[in-house]
Each structure stands twice: as C-alpha cells, then as structure tokens.
Chains A and B, each alone.
Chain A
Amino acid sequence: MDILEHPEQPTEEFTRLLQQSRGRLFSYIYALVRNLTDADDVFQQTALTLFRKFDAYDPSRDFLRWACGFARLEAAEFLRTRARDRLRFSDPLTLALLEAFAEVPEVEATNRQATLPGCVDKLTAADRKLLTDCYQTGADVNVVANRMGRPPRSVYNSLRRIRRALFECVERTIACENRSER
C-alpha cells in the first residue's frame, strides 16, 4: 500500500497548468505504457515530480512539453522495473511522439473529448455492450471472448472496427464544426 505524505500545497498556477494539460499528458503516457491502470500510476508519479520541480519551470516554455519530458522518464522507469516483458518504443521515438502529442492544441483535445459521447450513442447496442465489457472493468479480452463463446481474434477485430468508427466519427464531426465556423 502506498502511503504518500505531501506537506506542501500546489500553487494555483501549477494546478491550472496541470489541469489544462492533463488529458494530453495522460494520452502520451498511455501511448507509452498501454494500460489505463498503469498510465494512472505513471501520471500520478509524474504529477508529483512536476510539483516538486515546479520551481525550476520556465514559464516561457510550453508546460505540456515540459511535463511530457518528465512523463517520458517516469514511463521508462515504470516499464523497466514493473513491466519488463512489455514491448516498448525506442527512446528517440518516444521523444518524437512527445512532440506529436504536444502539438495537439488544447482546444482540439477538449472538442474531441466533448464530441465522443455523441459518437458512442450512434453505435449499435451490441457494439456498446462489447466496449463496456472490454473497457469498463479492464477485463482481459480473452476472458470476454471466452464468456461470449467467440475466438479472441474476432473480439479484437470487433474492437478495432468500433474504435475506428468512433475515431472517424470524431474526426468528421470536428471537421464539420471547423468548416461551419469559417
């Protein structure tokens, strides 16, 4: 059991910057560790490190890039010590990906998040059920497939079809909104 003690309080500025960046920072961490629970752990550890190092943060720099730099190190440490068997990207690629995640504008990330529920509502009930079974409890896809009497590969294929449909729905909706705003 982790028992953490933090006598100091984060400043308003730190809180604001972290809240503003948390979605994209979490996504970047997830891209490296590929597990929501693990990403949550690495995110928390990263946030603590950022808090401790915040005095050294240069406000003229992009906070998200600065934060992702620490997240990259925390994720590497996590994978090295607690998920040794998991495949991981090379260091140079994690740096290149850091830039790609940091370049997603905050407003776009927020819009994408807001658009997703409408896209989920458009799915069939069966597709929503499959997503819930696989995502909600973090269940192993093999276990879900076994329960459904389907081959795991078939469930993986269904999941990717649904994910892509959702992604394309979000992309289309955002593009439409951007066009109508012009």
Chain B
Amino acid sequence: MTDDQPLPPRVRDLIDDYLDGTLDNAGLKELEADLESNAAIREYFARYVGTHVDLGFELAARAATDRTLVQLRSTSESRPPRRLVAASLAIGLVAGGVVGLFAAPARSDAPAAIARSLALDFRTPRAGTLADAEGRGTGFTQRLPDTGGGLQSNDANLRLVPGGGLAVTATNSDLNTRFRLDQGEFPGVRLSDLGFTGVEDFEVAFTAAVIPALGFVGQFGVYAGVGSDWTVRGGLVSERKPDSFRQFVVNTRDGRDKDTLFIGLGSPGDNLRMALSRIAGKYTVAVENRTSGATTTLATRHPEFLEGRADLVVGLYAADPRGKEPTAFTFSGFTATVWVPGEKRR
C-alpha cells in the first residue's frame, strides 16, 4: 500500500473496533501487525484518532452552548433574580468551573410550582423502608444504585436515635474510583416518587447536629445520581488538620471525581443545614451554619449526564475512606422536594 492507495477495508474496521472497545484479542494482534509493518497505516491511525477526539470535544462544546442558551433564555424571560446563577454558569463554561458565593435563590419570587416534599425527622420508625441496626425503618426507600450491596438488611451503620435523629456511621468507601462501594452508606429516595420526570427543580437537604472528626478526605453530604458512577455530590470534606473541613461540590463521571470545587470553611458549627438543589437546571450546594447564620453556596460545572434523567436518586451520605475508627454523624432531619409546575410556590 502507498499513500495514494486507500486503506484496506479490513484495517479500517479493525481500527473502528479498537476505538469502540469491541476488538477481541485476535483482532488486536492483527491490527498490531498492520500498524507495526506499515507507516502509512500508523499515519492514518494518528489522524483518525485525532478526528475522533476532536469530535468528542466538539459535541461537548455544542451541548454546553445549547444548555447555556436555554438557561439564559429561561432566566431572562421568567426568572430575573436568577441571572447571577446563569451568569455563573456561563463563566463556568469558559473557565471549566466556577465558585459562586451568592445568596440562595429566594423562593418567594419563583415561578408557579407545587412543592411535593418528603420529610423525615427520624422520630418514628417507618415500616417497609431501609432498616437500621435494630430493624426499624429509617424512612429512606432507596440506596444510590451500586452502593451498599454488602450491607446487611438490618444495617449496623444506621441507628434511629431516641427522641429523633438518625446516626449514620461513615464507612471506608468513596464514590471516587468506586472504592469499597459495597460498604458505601448512601441512603436516599427516588425523586420520581415525588412526581419528578427529569426536568423539574428539586432540592435535597438535611440538618445535622453532631459532626465528628474524620480522617483526611473523610466527608459527608448530599448527592443526586443515577448510580454510583454518575452523580453530583457536595458537602464537607475533612482536611489533614483535625476538625477542619472544606466545602466542596463534585461530579462523579464514570466512577471518577471530576470538576471538583473547594472552598475553605471556618467551622461547620454545631447546627448545620446542607442542601443540594437544581433550580432552573443549575446545581448548587449550600451549607448553612445555623450557629453563625452564614450560608455559602457552591455551583459547579453542569452535570450534563443527569440531564433529562427521571431515575434520579437523592440522599445523604457519610464516608471516611481513610478512617481508622468508626465515626457516626447524627442527622436530625431530611427533606426531598420536587417543584412540579402548575401553581405558585408557597
């Protein structure tokens, strides 16, 4: 074969199979032999792969542009107070991520919607839900798919506290790199049970009163995802110094943490509310220190992989990948809310 001759169809098929991940061992050997013996095939391969990669970036850029335009249109047409959120998104698309420190969008001026909520105060066992160590229903109906598969039906890491509250023991697990997720504690609920169809605004939140020290990168927070590999989550992550946390938000893409944003946090306080919300399509994580009254909100690169997904599971989690001792958080309340279009929000 020379530069003027087309590549044999068989070689082109082998290259496509290789890129698609459908090549078997025998095919790989055949392709290797072709590539090793012929510089023209190697040149073609380099250019073809280059176009393949360019295509991935081009499509990602198109999708991001479309989403931004939709966001900006909906913001300017019906949600003026949220321009700051949309502007943050636009900047984020250019910079690859954005830290937004702004007040949480006020609900009073929001467009018509009905709030459908599930609220748990953990005061009364709820039959037929995930059971704690003593078999009492916690109220959570789901786990994030692909997590907690190795936990017992009476989960020793969950314990309803007399008088109200749920103690959750952080396990040695991490969504990043799929580390020991069979032990991962990611209890939650399915948003579709509240009328979610993939497009509505929603919020998942908890309040916590007991925040123990964790090992480095130990963390707790809120999540929304369709499985352990594809989630957005945020919360507080422990630094090396004991009792020192940073607030973060991160997308987990194909089992790896991406688009991570951090911000220093003086103290979480001893009465904390944390919320992950999707408002006008924009995801943010807010941490309200009810001791000091301060709220910080982080917005991250849009997790486009959750776009239009009706099968979202949302919940809370506690993980201590490098922890040596079991440590338990006490959550005093949990809410999941979906705003279904139709009437004014209350």
A interface list, Cβ under 8 A from B = 1-3, 23-24, 26-28, 30-31, 34-37, 39-41, 82, 86-87, 89-90, 92-93, 96-97, 99-101, 103-104, 109, 112-113, 116-117, 120, 131-132, 135-139, 141, 156, 159-160, 163-164, 166-167, 170-171
Contacts and interface: CB of A to CB of B under 8 A. Distances in A.
B5 interface: no
**Majority secondary structure of chain A interface residues (helix, strand, loop or mixed):** helix
A166 B50 CA distance: 12
B336 to A, nearest CB: 24
Given A34-B21, A100-B46, A156-B22, 12 more contacts: A1-B217, A1-B250, A3-B237, A27-B49, A30-B52, A41-B256, A93-B32, A96-B42, A97-B42, A120-B58, A132-B63, A138-B254
A112 B55 contact: no
Contacts of A26: 53
Contacts of B63: 132, 136
A24 B43 CA distance: 13
Contacts of A27: 46, 49-50, 53
Given A2-B257, A93-B35, A100-B39, A166 B51 contact: yes
Contacts of A100: 39, 42-43, 45-46
B25 interface: yes
A137 B66 CA distance: 14
B28 A37 contact: no
Given A1-B176, A96-B36, A163 B219 contact: no
B16 A160 contact: yes
A21 B58 CA distance: 18
A41 B254 CA distance: 12
Contacts of B13: 160
A92 B36 contact: yes
B342 interface: no
B59 interface: yes
A30 B49 contact: yes
Interface string B131-164: 0000000000000000000000000000000000
Contacts of B271: none
A112 B18 contact: no
Contacts of B266: none
B48 A167 contact: yes
A113 B93 CA distance: 19
Nearest to B13: A160
6 contacts: A34-B18, A87-B25, A104-B50, A136-B304, A160-B13, A171-B47
A119 B97 CA distance: 29
Contact of B253 (A34, A92, A138): A138
Interface in B35-79: 35-36, 39, 42-43, 45-56, 58-60, 62-63
Interface centre among B63, B254, B258, B305 (most CB of A within 10 A): B254
Contact of A24 (B50, B56, B176, B304): B50
Residue of B47, B60, B177, B219 with highest tally of chain A CB at under 10 A? B47
A166 B55 contact: yes
Contacts of A24: 50
Contacts of B91: none
A31 B45 contact: yes
Nearest to A104: B46
B104 interface: no
Nearest to B257: A1
B13 to A, nearest CB: 8
Most buried by A among B49, B60, B176, B250: B49
Given A96-B42, A163-B16, A37 B56 contact: no
A116 B49 contact: no
A97 B45 contact: yes
